[in-house]
Amino acid sequence: MLVRKTLAAKAAQSRYERQHKDRLFLSKIIVVGILIVLQIALIAYVTWRMGTLTPYYQLAYTFVSVIVMIYIVNRKDNPAYQLAWSVLILLFPLFGGIFYLVIAGNRSTNHFVRKMQRSIQDSYQLLPQDADVKAALAMQSGGAAMQSGYIARYGPYPVYRHTKIEYYPLGDDHVAPLLEALRGARRYIFLEYFIIREGVFWNSVLNVLEQKAAEGIDVRVLIDDFGCVATIPPGYEKRLQEKGIQCLSFNRFIPVLTLRLNNRDHRKITVIDGHTGFTGGVNLSDEYINVTHPYGHWKDVGVMLRGEAVWSLTVMFLQMWDYVAGITEDYTQYAPRPEEIADIPDDGYVQPYSDSPLDDEVVGENIYLNMINHARKSVYIITPYLILDHEMITALSLAAKNGVDVRLILPGIPDKKMAYTLTKVNAEVLIEEGVHIHLYTPGFTHAKIMVADDELAVVGTVNMDFRSLYLHFECGVWMYNNSVIEEIGNDFKETLKKCRELTIEEYQKLHWYQRVWRALLRFLSPLL
């Protein structure tokens, strides 16, 4: 309670300064956006102008578009993504094929893929699976063992037992344990976040990081450049480095038209000395802990891990850090010391995992699908967005038709209007199939959780939308038969009391032009 009051008092002092900085930083997004739009316009104009000079150019462009369509159809991309691109190329045969080649066939993207994959693959040997743990899980549940086996192969991280999990049903609850754990660091602190924003929350964390850096502790901060483009000033990395804190930005946001801009580091990871780790939906910004209220009350969740499974989070961070820094280091020096995790008891099974957009394996979505398809009693989900492909809609619908109690909690107040419209479109489809959709009336839900049959759960960073499932670097924690799963399920039920159920009658009141607009958005959703 004291921590919350202190944070609220500090927020009142800094609100004006933050609003001024937000307006200043927003200008960078506007400038970059204008430059990208101008590039698109230039490509369209040059293609059209050359096409009017001679019919041979038109024939060449059409031939290119046909080849591009054949290439798209034969890729392993999601069918909805393939269909959207194919229709656009058919509608604009002169422009569509060239445009796809410019942004999707960019050579720097291929270099980016190879370099990132090397950074990840080199560390796999440091993640051996304990055969006894694997065998014990198979004895308890064949279905859970199959799901865990998939994660081990493609996640790709092992399943652990000696790990204790604490669950935080609000971002507000996340603050004090995080600060306490940071203060207890003795060797290193690693932070990897999509967003940090100057304000009460981040400044509280930064004060601890400064103190620890002054003590000689290895402190590193990895941020996503796009996620922070409007939340911290230019050159912020240098400012942190002057405080003794190493800081790097992932995938610089530059005004160049390329699909690489879509691949963002959406993960939220804190690791302390290899024995304590945090993840979940909570970014280091004031709205996540309800110091500010841009979209009403902010519902988010997080978990703290203590024990063996934290090693997987440590490796995840180092993979990304080494890629951005362009270095190769000995990960074993960051392993937890035996005495630091010796007293951690068994509490079910814990399996952190990551998902990369570069390996043609949609790990985050497949973990969700595995849980839904194997559920026999209930599936409870909280997500900020619901922009789904056919596979996910089919899985949720079929589970409901089979008698499984399928319930989703979505925001009552949106943070992005277009995404919210698409969320409502998908919600209508699911409601018609017997899925229960609930809106969180106090505000916005940013949590990403799934609980199946009160036995399996996932908490992480993976939203149920195309960008999160297909384009971003993500992470999560899969759990089976862990005592914290009951807490997660109870939190869902308590949150449900603050929701209203969305009904099909609300959709029947829509005007025809609203339905047309929603249908168009749904078709284009894989490209948005």
Domain that holds residue 488: 363-527
Of 234, 228, 225, nearest in space to 252 by CA? 225
| pLDDT given at position 12 | 46
The enclosing domain of 443 has a CATH number of: 3.30.870.10
Same domain, 349 and 369: no
Q: Which of 69, 94, 112 is the last residue of a domain?
A: 112
Report CA torsion sign: 134, 138, 141, 147.
positive
Q: Which of 112, 141, 171 is the last residue of a domain?
A: 112
Same domain, 431 and 463: yes
Q: What is the mean pLDDT of each run of 10 residues along the chain (528 residues)?
A: 49 45 52 60 61 63 75 72 72 68 56 68 83 96 96 93 96 96 98 96 97 97 91 90 96 65 90 98 97 96 97 96 90 93 90 90 95 97 93 96 98 90 89 97 97 97 93 95 96 98 86 76 67
Residues in Cβ contact with 159 at an 8 Å cutoff, skipping those fewer than 6 apart: 129, 133, 134, 137, 148, 151, 152, 349, 350, 351, 478
Same domain, 90 and 175: no
> Are 515 and 424 in contact, with CB atoms under 8 Å apart?
no
Euclidean distance between CA atoms 367 and 476, whole angstroms = 10
Please tell me whether residue 455 adopts helix, strand or coil conformation.
coil
3-state secondary structure 163-227: EEEEEECCHHHHHHHHHHHHHCCCCEEEEEECCECCCHHHHHHHHHHHHHHHCCCEEEEEEECCC
Same domain, 251 and 159: yes
Q: Which of 112, 134, 157 is the last residue of a domain?
A: 112
Euclidean distance between CA atoms 74 and 82, whole angstroms = 9
Same domain, 428 and 476: yes
Same domain, 198 and 308: yes
Same domain, 350 and 404: no
| pLDDT given at position 119 | 67
Angle value at C-alpha 409, between 408 and 411, nearest 5 degrees:
140
Same domain, 383 and 503: yes
Same domain, 423 and 338: no
In which region does residue 2 sit, left (phi positive, over 0), alpha (psi from -120 to 50) or beta (all else)? alpha
Same domain, 125 and 212: yes
Number of domains the chain is built from:
3
Of 237, 228, 178, 166, nearest in space to 208 by CA? 178
Same domain, 338 and 256: yes
Same domain, 216 and 307: yes
